[in-house]
Structure 1
Amino acid sequence: MLEIRDLTTSYGPVKALDGVTFTAARGKITAVLGANGAGKTTLLRTVSGLIRADRGNTYLDGLDLARMPAEKMPGLGLAHVPEGRGVITELTVEENLRLGALGRADRSRPADIDRVYSLFPVLESRRSAVAHILSGGEQQMLVIARALMAEPKVLLLDEPSLGLAPRIVVQIFELIRGLVESEGLTVLLVEQNARSALSIADIGVVLDLGRLVAHDEAAALAADEKLRHAYLGF
């Protein structure tokens, strides 16, 4: 589904990614883990076209994304939910959702809104509310739901648990797992909370200073005590 091959990205003289290669399998959650500065967010930003790679390629179902502009990605089946949520607080919940369909040729259809509301009932109950009154967890649900309005094949999620209470984190992670099982999405999940990420992921990728240091089934990484202590903090 999503193949990342020899991806290298720099900020000036500093290599943020250095020859990263792995594949995110169709219909699976691949968790990208590592300490601050490991290159996790840079990886997602490079894949989604927000940053240009120095070298390497990213393929979505065989299509080379390396020189595609970021605004074309939703139409190709790739949606990126960046760190920090980023709802348009002056707009209503439903207006935020409709923005997510702008990259599609057919824009928003009523059925799309209904489908998303069926996945996020709390948003349907707040559909006419301005987004700034939503809780942090509700805003996180909104940005994920907005990304789904583009009907993506691949969903890039950057730190969806950031700043949320533990019980809300559990809800968000259960929601992500449910989306994969019900919608067949491929998810590339960047998370600082490695323990929680591995609990819902199928595959784990560990980065350290821009380099790939581990790539295995999530359960195997969670069971590797030496790796956990060295790179994952638990």
Structure 2
Amino acid sequence: MAETGAHGSTAASAAGVGLSKGGGTATAPAVLEVEGLSAAYGPVRALDGVTLRAESGRITAVLGANGAGKTTLLRTISGLVRPTAGRVVLNGEDVTRSPVEAMVTKGMSHVPEGRGVIAELTVDENLRVGSLFRGKVGQDEFDRVYDLFPRIAERRGQTAHTLSGGERQMLVIGRALLARPKVLLLDEPSLGLAPRIVAQIFALLRKLVDTEGLSVLLVEQNARSALSVADTGVVLNLGRVVVTDDAARLAGDEDLRHAYLGF
């Protein structure tokens, strides 16, 4: 199936944010290229020759049932899991064997599932922890994060354990953005959140992608919401890519949705 640049707007419209069409086409240079990536946990093969690309100014949604390999894919791309085959290319550089801590300086931020804040630290201190790998970060960059997330700006002096689930998700995304990534890997950001909060977070991602050229690789169990904000969808099944296509076309493919996406 061919890829195009169209994308839906359901999630963003719910948050009241106007969207423009995502930049780039299928022939645009890829910020991130994954080629024939395989990974295993002992005898269990979790990824089997996965190939995909993520471009500037686009959201690529990785979808599939539980156990499809979505989280393992992000963990392997970011270096937390070592692949058994294949390679990861970031901004034209092969980073397959790069240390995890080097990925930030090379332009990649990974927000794992689970909203991993440091509960005993304040919001502001959590953000500053996220800036450590970048060296000196100006106050204007912290202010930018607070401008993006007014909810956490209001709570900057509070300890993170007092935040709601949605506020914690905003905090970990803001912390990742302090690294000024070219590629943001985002794992299950909607998990356990109210639809209204999910819509706000997805709308903000869409805005960052459209206005700043960020590339987002989004893993989501909530396929309907993910496809409403994404440009491209990649469907995994048992560690393999089943299909890659324009997000709107995937959302409209009833047979594929029923077979792999559960709606």
Secondary structure, aligned partner of 1:226: helix
Between 1 and 2, higher relative CO (CA 8 Å, sep ≥ 6) is seen in: 2
- After superposition, residues 1-234 of structure 1 pair within 5 angstroms as 1-104=31-134, 106-234=135-263
Moved over 2 A (4+): none
TM-score by length of 1: 0.98
- 2:58 corresponds to which letter in structure 1? K
- 1:141 corresponds to which letter in structure 2? M
Give, in whole Å, the separation in 2 of the partners of 1:123 and 1:48: 27
- 1:85 corresponds to which letter in structure 2? R
Give the CA deviation at 1:108. 2.1
Give the CA deviation at 1:202. 0.3
Deviates further, 58-67 or 169-178: 169-178
Structure 1 regions of 5+ residues with no counterpart? none
Give, in whole Å, the separation in 2 of the partners of 1:142 and 1:178: 17
TM-score by length of 2: 0.87
- 1:43 corresponds to which letter in structure 2? L
Provide the aligned length of Structure 1 versus Structure 2.
233
Q: RMSD across aligned C-alpha pairs, in angstroms?
A: 0.8
1:61-107 CA-to-partner distances (Å, cap 9, x unmatched) read 11111100111111111000000010001000011111111111x33
Give the CA deviation at 1:123. 1.4
Secondary structure, aligned partner of 1:171: helix
- 1:19 corresponds to which letter in structure 2? G
Give the CA deviation at 1:182. 2.4
Give, in whole Å, the separation in 2 of the partners of 1:153 and 1:191: 20
- 1:156 corresponds to which letter in structure 2? L
Give, in whole Å, the separation in 2 of the partners of 1:55 and 1:221: 28
Query: Percent identical across equivalent pairs?
Result: 67
Give the CA deviation at 1:183. 2.2
